[in-house]
Amino acid sequence: MSPDVVMWVVVAAVVLLVLGVVLVVGSRIRGRRRTAALRRHFGPEYDHVVEQSSGRSQGEAELRRRLSRRRELDVRELDADERERFATQLQQAQNSFVETPRTGLRDTDLLLQQVLRERGYPVEHFSEREAMVSVDHPDLVGHYRDAHAIAVADTRDDADTEQLRQAMVDYRYLLDELIGPGHPESTQRGLPAS
């Protein structure tokens, strides 16, 4: 081989090597930015999902799936009449809880599903409700998860009065947010890119 050909082969190999390094570094930077955006958006829910998954990659894929699914939904604010009606029903459920905690908790759980349905969230399966709530209310989804677990335990008579009371408090956190004058449009704009 002539020296010119060898030099061109060496130059081409160096260019390919540099290009490969640039692509790897760029990919890692993009990955770190995606991770940071997911952490900022989901807060403690990020750690919860990663812990429940087979690792960070699978956990982040699940969070991106949730964001994508949420973008497909037409979540809306409640109008003033709906807010008033649901606030009244919540007060009734809380009053019922004083006399019969199990009935009050059941009524609150059903009310939450009703509010979610009216706002445009899916309500068929808890896992889907939980996932969509985690996108718009990542700071409250843990309360929702805990309250739901107690409500399920209560159907088997495995919850004591203090647990039922805590579930009511946890449900109330989320219901106050969902019934209140939330702005799903601003939440939608605030979703990180997938």
Structural domains of the chain, count = 1
Q: Is the pLDDT of residue 194 over 50?
A: no
With respect to residue 157, please indicate whether it lies within any of the assigned structural domains. Answer: yes
Closest CA to 168 of 105, 77, 74: 105
Domain-embedded: residue 158? yes
Range of the domain at 106: 80-189
- Answer whether residue 85 is part of any domain: yes
Tell me, yes or no, whether 62 lies in a domain.
no
Q: Please check whether residue 139 lies inside any domain of the structure.
A: yes
In-domain check, residue 39 = no
Q: Is residue 24 part of a domain?
A: no
**If you ran DSSP here, which 8-state letter would residue 28 be given?**
H
Residue type at position 100: T
pLDDT at 181: 63
Local confidence band at 185 (pLDDT 50, 70, 90 cut-offs): very low
- Reported as a pLDDT band with limits 50, 70 and 90, residue 186 is very low
Closest CA relative to residue 41, chosen from 66, 10, 14 = 66
Over residues 119-144, the pLDDT tens digits come to: 999 989 999 999 999 999 999 999 99
Whether residue 183 lies inside any domain: the answer is yes
> Which residues touch 45 (CB under 8 Å, ≥6 apart)?
63, 134, 138, 141, 142
Q: What is the pLDDT of residue 173?
A: 92
d(CA 33, CA 69): 21
- Enter the tokens of residue 173: 């956190």
93, pLDDT greater than 80: yes
- Check: CB of residue 113 under 8 Å from CB of residue 123: yes
CB contact burial 35-47 (16+ within 10 A = b; e otherwise): bebbbebbeebbe
